[in-house]
Amino acid sequence: MKIIFVTGGVLSGIGKGIAAASIGALLAASDQRVYCQKFDGYLNVDPGTMNPTQHGEVFVTADGAETDLDIGHYERFLDTDMNRFSSFTSGRLYEELIARERRGDFLGGTVQIVPHLTDLVQEKIKTGYETANADVSIIEIGGTVGDMENEYLLESARQLQHRLGRDNVIFVHVVLLPFLGASKEFKSKPIQHSVRTLMGYGISPDFLVVRSDEIVPEEMLAKIASKSGLQRDDIIAAPTLDSIYKVPLSFATQGVSTKILEKMGLDVVKPNMAKWEQLVTHIENSTDILTIGMVGKYTDLEDAYYSVNEGLRCAGFAHSKKVKLQFIDAEDIEKSGTTILENLDGICIPGGFGTRGTEGMIETARYARENRIPYLGICLGSQIMAIEYARNVLGIADASSEEFTPAGVHNIIHIMEHQKGLTSKGGNMRLGSYECIIRPGSLAERVYGAGSPPEKGELEGVTQKGIHSNVTPPNLPFSGEGQKESLIVTERHRHRFEFDPTYREAMEASGFIVSATSPDGSLAEIVELRDHPYMIATQAHPELISRPSRPHPLFIGLVRAMIEKR
């Protein structure tokens, strides 16, 4: 086993996840099979029930795990899928440990943090490594060195290095170098204290990633190395860049992958950074601005929609456009009307839960429909689009969702059958990857395409080769259309509610089209408007499979529609 632990010091939220993902990207570009895991100290079993404005988005893996948003960084930077072994919390580990004790697995012994919990952590690291058939695993330990809740994780890492040896287990410590504006100087003392704290756990860092908002002078980097007991080559400068997608190239310029491969006794292969260079070229050439209104309920924290934000931005880069995201609290629209939407090029309503802000979202969907503004709805945004249409086109004034009005008469959005009667809230939604069948001749079919070459000026692969297959399903759910092959696409989901099919006939008769369903035809997965340039919504979460060099077709379609509208 070859393991890289990534720890953080001085402050949290300084970019450990980006640093870990960038190191992984370099190693992957050097022909290494890389797997990533993150261990968090909080006692929630997973982030699924946590407030997005406190924790950020919940990233769902293909196998249905609700994980930390850093798992999204790993998937996007490494361009590979993670799994349920990629994200562990103290709550999940304690839950399993106590369950084992209740089964009698410890033969009456006294169960303790050391060795039982620390052994379990190492077991999960080994399982993830072997399941992925990895050459190298990168393990991010959440929080900051010195946090009480993470001490057992550091002890687990120390033990693993002791067992496997320093050639097989190394430590990368990500630290903040503060700059004092008043005296106009950097202060390295917090880094020195952080390194000493880490060493107090029996861990000596092999590399320091020095985060800063300014370019750090060479003499300061040399000082940090000296005070930390490291060589200058072991210090990786990580100034704030205007795009996170420039970080792998910055690390490559500093020879990070070569240093790590040499230290771990692996074959040194120069990383092939052509994909990253092409992406950065598109980013730097993207000057024309497109403004998308992100109308939601968690807009106080942009990280609540992190993957959606990145999917839209990268779709813009694919067309050499800079996507500017304007975050709009849906409750503000309820209070002040839709004037704030007037100068937008496009609108996106992302996922969410509960009733707060939904009337503002419905007004937003109405505005997009009536003014022919390109619109993309995601999960809740799909349900909002259906409710608005039912109210204002079909005249069902009390159209709503069972989530908002449980006793409502015309709930065109209802809870799925297998969700009825559930009382617990954790980990039991419709989660993970599911296939759906695209309706022939629909906007959805045109958007997903059939693997056609990218148009001039687009990144290679933006047409999503590999996301869909062109096959004929055994029981096509669209009557009278069985003579034409249909696309089957795989999307990730996280929801309890769905469009009620009893309203489908009336909706479709007036132009609201169900353009993709589950293979058995029972669930509406994508909906669209027939007489609108681009008003489409999905019950899925396309942001979860969007990649920087391969933006999701629905994001690409939204950007194209905005360009054409201009």
Kindly report whether the peptide bond that precedes residue 115 is cis, defined as omega within 30 degrees of 0. Answer: yes
Radius of gyration (C-alpha) of the chain in whole angstroms:
25
Residue 134 sits at the vertex; the CA angle it makes with 132 and 136, to the nearest 5 degrees, is 135
* Chain position carrying tokens 């008469």: 409
d(CA 475, CA 517): 12
The answer to whether the beta carbons of residues 236 and 202 sit under 8 Å apart is no
Amino acid at 149: E
The Cα 330–Cα 309 span in angstroms is: 17
Q: How far apart are CA 79 and CA 474, in angstroms?
A: 32
Q: Please enumerate in sequence order all residues whose Cβ is within 8 A of that of 561, keeping only pairs 6 or more positions apart, or say none.
A: 346, 374, 533, 534
57, 363, 543, 552: the active-site residue: 543
Helix 553-565 and helix 306-318, axial crossing angle in degrees, nearest 10:
60
Task: Provide the b/e sequence for 294-325 (b: ≥16 CB within 10 Å).
Answer: bbbbbbebebbbbbbbbbbbbbbbbbbbbbeb
Catalytic residue among 36, 348, 379, 436: 379
Q: Under 8 Å CB-to-CB from 357, ≥6 apart: which residues?
A: 296, 297, 329, 330, 331, 334
- The DSSP code sequence of 527-552 is EEETTSSSEEEESS-GGGT-BTTB--
37 neighbors 88 (Cβ within 8 angstroms): yes
The answer to whether 543 is a known catalytic residue is yes
Please indicate whether residue 95 is annotated as part of the active site: no
Q: How far apart are the first and last CA of the chain?
A: 54
The answer to whether 302 is a known catalytic residue is no
Whether the CA torsion 499, 504, 507, 508 is positive or negative: it is positive
Which positions are catalytic?
379, 541, 543
